[in-house]
Amino acid sequence: MKSTLISVLLLLIFVLKTNAQQVFPLSNEKGYKLPVCIYKGDTIPYITLKNIYVYPEMRFKNNRQRRNYNKLVRDVKKTLPLAREVRRAVIETYEYLQTLPDEKSRENHIKLVEKGLKKQYTPKMKKLTFSQGKLLIKLVNRECNQSSYQLVKAFMGPFKAGFYQTFAALFGASLKKEYHPEDEDRMIERIITLVENGQL
């Protein structure tokens, strides 16, 4: 009786072990194709991972500081795409202007670009709060390596640049405002880094 029980157990273990070693083909399963490398005869899949940025934990003295930080995160998420669109428009306009034969055609093209930008972006700009507008001026400087004033002056001339600067100054803003990631804009740079990396 004892030997029969042992035989049944051994048979059961053998059956379970052979079933566990079977490889079933993937059917209707979703998966990913990965690049592989072969090392000493072994095929090893590899994945390049994103950098993970680690900052000290945010500590707030009170709820007001926490709200201000959350507001800054919201403002960066809203204005950073706009600043990137400005950079793209500046690059495209500059490259196209280089292909035009004379000053007259360049001026005409700039007028068309200005008209198109006003039509496209005026509704978006009207939705920005005052603090988001000031932040956008800084982020344009970050993305383009030039102040908004310098960009307007380069494309539309010093008269229009002065006009827009005066208009901005009426509301307490300045198109000449620069972005300083190591100093006063350290927190904004931290937020941008985390947003770009999908960590925030």
- Residue 65 contacts by C-beta under 8 Å, 6 or more apart in sequence? none
The contacts of residue 78 (CB under 8 Å, 6+ apart) are 128, 132
Per-residue pLDDT at 29: 62
Q: Which residues of 125-136 are buried (b: 16+ CB within 10 A; e: fewer)?
A: eeebeeebebbb
Per-residue pLDDT reduced to its tens digit, 134-153: 888 888 888 888 887 787 77
Phi-psi region of 145 (alpha: psi -120 to 50; beta: other; left: phi over 0): left
In the structure encoding, which two tokens stand for residue 30, read together? 């979703």
Q: DSSP state, 182? A: T
The structure's pTM equals: 0.68
Long-range contacts from 194-199, C-beta under 8 angstroms, 24+ separation? 194/53, 194/55, 195/73, 195/76, 195/77, 195/80, 197/50, 197/51, 197/52, 197/53, 198/50, 199/52, 199/53
pLDDT at residue number 7: 57
Helix axes 186-196, 63-99, angle to 10 degrees: 70
Structure tokens at 42: 């072994």
pLDDT digits (tens, 9 = 90+) for 2-45: 555 555 555 545 544 444 444 444 445 677 777 888 888 888 88
Backbone φ/ψ region at 198: left (φ over 0), alpha (ψ -120 to 50), beta: left
